[in-house]
Amino acid sequence: MKNIVILISGTGSNMKAIVQRAQSQNWRERFQASVALVLASNPNAQGLAWAQENGLPTAVVDHRAYKDSPNPRHAFEEQLIQTIDPFKPHLVVLAGFMRILSAETTRHYAGRMMNIHPSLLPAFTGLNTHQRALDAGCKFAGATVHWVSEELDAGNIIDQAVVPILHTDDEHSLSQRVLSAEHQLYARVIEEHLKQ
């Protein structure tokens, strides 16, 4: 079985889209694949409750629990790896996981860890992507699925979805349309990967 581990921090809307696609397209039988774990960095993540209600195995590795460690980031990521690795993941999917991972962790999952970013990379890495696109006068925005690398939002691009920027757009309206595109893109990219 190809195990998929999904990492979230908040509402988990991309996680939900992936799980729903997995169920509707019967990934278990078609690709011998399933979502083996939904892991949250925030114990209050709304997506965690949804995953539990839908019968998915869940775990929490709260980054705040390690703030008094000599090296909080290392302690958090060490626990993250110890929680993920027993599932022998074919794919680790970052779906609104709001932690920047160290080079050590990204190397550990090299070629197995995907992320989705709400811009047309390489443009607008990091945060506030929608407002930055509006401020720059861009005609298009979008989302990018990429392999996670040591450098933030710089891994090899797998696929992108383009969303036109309307003259009536503000940050909120643009972000909602990009998020809808993300939901379609990410689940489809994962499915294409599972076919290989």
Provide the annotated active-site residues. 117
Question: Which residues make Cβ contacts (< 8 Å) with residue 52, sequence separation at least 6?
Answer: 58
Q: What share of the chain is helix, strand, coil (3-state, %, to 5)?
A: 40, 25, 35
Instruction: Give the closest residue to 97 by CA, choosing from 84, 111, 87.
Output: 84
Name the amino acid, one letter, at 95: A
Q: Are 48 and 70 in contact (CB under 8 A)?
A: no
Q: What whole-number distance in Å separates Cα of residue 118 and Cα of residue 53?
A: 27
